[in-house]
Amino acid sequence: MRRSNGIREVAKHAGVSSASVSRALNRPELVRPETLRRIRDAMSDLNFYPDAMARAFVTGSSKTVGSIVPTIDNSMFSEGINALQDTLVSRGYMLLLANSGYNLETEKEMVRALVSRGVDGLVLRGEKHDREIEDLLGKHRIPCVTVGRYDPAGGFPTIGVDNRKLGRIAMSHLIELGHHRIAQISAVTDQNDRAVDRVQGMAEACSAAGRSIMAARQVDYALENIRQTARELIDGSDGPPTAVCCSNDIIAYGVLFEAVRMGLSVPRDLSIIGIGNLDLSRHVVPGLTTVMIPTRRLWARAGEILIDLLCDRETVKHVEFDVELVVRDSTKSI
Amino acid sequence: MRRSNGIREVAKHAGVSSASVSRALNRPELVRPETLRRIRDAMSDLNFYPDAMARAFVTGSSKTVGSIVPTIDNSMFSEGINALQDTLVSRGYMLLLANSGYNLETEKEMVRALVSRGVDGLVLRGEKHDREIEDLLGKHRIPCVTVGRYDPAGGFPTIGVDNRKLGRIAMSHLIELGHHRIAQISAVTDQNDRAVDRVQGMAEACSAAGRSIMAARQVDYALENIRQTARELIDGSDGPPTAVCCSNDIIAYGVLFEAVRMGLSVPRDLSIIGIGNLDLSRHVVPGLTTVMIPTRRLWARAGEILIDLLCDRETVKHVEFDVELVVRDSTKSI
DNA sequence: GTGAAAGCGCTAACAA
DNA sequence: TTGTTAGCGCTTTCAC
């Protein structure tokens, strides 16, 4: 299991000390060219590869960053993870990924697992986190940034957007279009502060306009359940809504698909708005009206900030990104 | 940077030797219950977590598995990665993820990066790989399994499906439905042996029926490009096809969206079949006819086999999973 | 069942 | 510029 040729064998073979071999590996400029050559020859003679684990052990750095998302199997997260990944790799880091399954307890366990794998830093969704996480990370001096929710009062750096604003924009759009029968479908707000904020923003828009929501529901991210919820809403005893305000694009897809299956025409019979502007949103038919979140930029920036932190570089603490209404064909005036 | 509370502090605090603490950690059954309790108390008193890097260093195992996919930002891969992730975590392993960006050279670099991170094993897509990869993994004694393509002659264990069969089934369905004007859109076959196999399967089905394909195109996974290709095909000077056979579901979505946008009715004017049966396929309207690949089971099994290998357990070398036509509403007889 | 002690392969002072 | 040396935190014989 263990490697046969260590730094000492190379040293002996090259007639130098192990320290010189180590230097040849890490700071070759400190070694006389002639010596360096001899060492390198010895290395290839002996087919030597430095043991990364010993290295990580002694330097205390694994050049690895951990991240935890509810699930990777969802464009809402995979777009961001992908961007984070690219940023990290371009800086010589790698991504150790974990799923929380929307569960704070699991998230905590995953943080432990990640920390115990020796990650140098962590990127978390900007949701509520278990208190213990802060302690653990503090104790291990592991920098952490959170993404998705801008919060100047956050303990960790937050790279995100104003989720209340997101909700307000979406709901206001529907109101301005003249809708009175507006239903709302949100992600489960239980352990998700972003969903809470969005719902709150939607409520603000309503009360500012003196309106009220016709019906409000919460769903998880399974299209199956989203569709069923949409069906119940449309078939409801109070009659169907003329518009539905969804707290994210995935939910909007579900509503869209179900509405069309039920024979409704979107946007003629039903207007639908999402939040997020996932890649798919401009391709589905009709194109989904939504509020754009620059997900990829968010995560890429989060990666950069984390690496700044890891290198003890000066960096910003909180970053807010702009969001923006994207009107397509799934909404129309009443 | 370095942890404050080590195994020695715990030992002192519990009034035992560090060896006992180590045993309490690794083989608690060898420690007297009373002693064990004292040690565990000491651990939580001192808020002790074993340093995984030291552990990995001394045991030679990082309890980490690496995987490389073209991009995570695509349901075709994220479904599998997610399943792999779950399997790994349930066995005490974690996933170190990398993207190849559809590039064999990058893949090789990522393998290096992963190996140098000390991964215990690797899961690769069953595509062509650089020869050097085998050497590198062999040298470091790092087990590797490939997923997606069943190939009893493969050097590494292969966990996958018969991609030719997939192509045959898809094309045959269209032929049996009576279509003569069939277009084909495939993923770029350049560095993708599965796409090659599927295209070949489609060709086999055609020649077996004495038919020929009306037009064949290749596209990457960007919906933008897929839609453009679909548009060209439909607007082509030879007149539109009555059916299009897509080498994966993502491509089928693109064709579906574009066809509907162009005012065609699916399946009345155009039949569309995909391959893969992604989650979304049963939700889009109309529901997508496709050939089911048990992606999650594939990747989960790959994870299990890899772990068997890591534990020096007996295990199978190659596993073929069944595939199956799933008829929904995007295809009809001419 | 428990403790003492010897490393694992490498890095990083410090000395020369 | 190069060598000597002392660990990093843990696991693991081997005695007791």
Average pLDDT of A219-237?
96
Question: For residue B59, how many other CB atoms are within 10 A of its CB?
Answer: 12
Query: Which domains does chain A show, CATH number per domain?
Result: 3-58 (1.10.260.40), 62-161+295-323 (3.40.50.2300), 163-292 (3.40.50.2300)
User: Three-state SS for A183?
Assistant: strand
C-alpha dihedral, A72 to A77 to A83 to A86, nearest 10°: -10
How far apart are alpha carbons B85 and B96 in whole angstroms?
Answer: 10
pLDDT (0 to 100) of residue B185:
98
B22 beta carbon < 7 A from strand D? yes
pLDDT of residue A126: 76
Nearest 5°: phi and psi at B217?
-135, 160
Contact between chains at B53 and A62 (C-beta distance less than 8 A):
yes
pLDDT in tens, B146-203: 999 999 998 899 999 999 999 999 999 999 999 999 999 999 998 889 999 999 999 9
C1' nearest to CA of A33: which nucleotide?
Answer: D1
A94 touches A65 (CB < 8 A): yes
For B260-281, what is each residue's pLDDT tens digit?
Answer: 999 999 999 999 999 999 999 9
List CB contacts of B242: < 8 A, sequence separation 6 or more: B179, B180, B181, B182, B269, B270, B271, B334
> How far does the CA of B238 sit from the C1' of C6, in Å?
80
What is the amino acid identity at position B176? Answer: E
Q: Is residue A235 within 8 Å of residue A264, measured between CB atoms?
A: no
Whether B110 and B310 have beta carbons less than 8 Å apart is answered as no
**Which DSSP symbol is given to B124?**
E
Instruction: Write down the mean pLDDT value for chain B.
Output: 92
DSSP state of A185: E
Instruction: Report the share of chain A in percent with pLDDT over 90.
Output: 69
> Which residues of chain A neighbour B54 with C-beta distances below 8 Å?
57
- CB burial of B288-310 (b: ≥16 within 10 Å; e: otherwise) equals bbbbbbbbbebbbbbbbbbbbbb
Set of chain B residues whose Cβ sits within 8 Å of the Cβ of A72: 72, 78, 81-82, 85
Query: How many CB atoms sit inside 10 A of residue A180's CB?
Result: 13
One DSSP character per residue, A62-84 reads: -SEEEEEES-SSSHHHHHHHHHH
Which nucleotides in chain C lie less than 7 Å from some protein C-beta? 1-5, 7-13
Structural contact between residues A300 and A86, judged by C-beta atoms closer than 8 angstroms: yes
Our measurement of CA B17 to C1' D15, in angstroms, reads: 15
Single-letter amino acid, residue A203: A
Q: Is the CB of A280 under 7 A from strand D?
A: no
pLDDT category at B4 given cuts 50, 70, 90 is low
Query: How far, in Å, is the CA of A308 from the C1' of nucleotide C9?
Result: 30
Say what the pTM is. Answer: 0.92
A160 sits in which H/E element: strand A158-161
**Lateral strand order in the sheet of A121-125:** A319-320, A158-161, A144-149, A121-125, A64-69, A94-99, B94-99, B64-69, B121-125, B144-149, B158-161, B319-320
Nucleotide nearest to A17 (CA to C1'): D3
Q: From the candidates B71, B284, B296, B329, which should be mutated to test the interface with A, based on the most A CB atoms within 10 A?
A: B284
Q: Going edge to edge, which strands form the sheet with B243-246?
A: B215-219, B182-187, B243-246, B271-276, B289-292, B324-326
What pLDDT, in 10s, does the model give residues A50-108? 887 888 888 888 889 999 998 888 888 999 999 999 999 999 899 999 998 888 888 88
CA triple B98-B101-B106, angle to 5 deg: 70
Chain A CB within 8 Å of residue B116 CB: yes
User: Residue A1 pLDDT more than 50?
Assistant: no
A51 CA – C8 C1', rounded, Å: 11
| β pairing state of A121-125 and A144-149 | parallel
- The answer to whether A113 contacts B94, with C-beta atoms less than 8 Å apart, is yes
Tokens 């002659």 locate to B153
* CA–CA dist B22, A73 (Å, integer): 38
Asked if pLDDT for residue B52 goes beyond 90, the answer is no
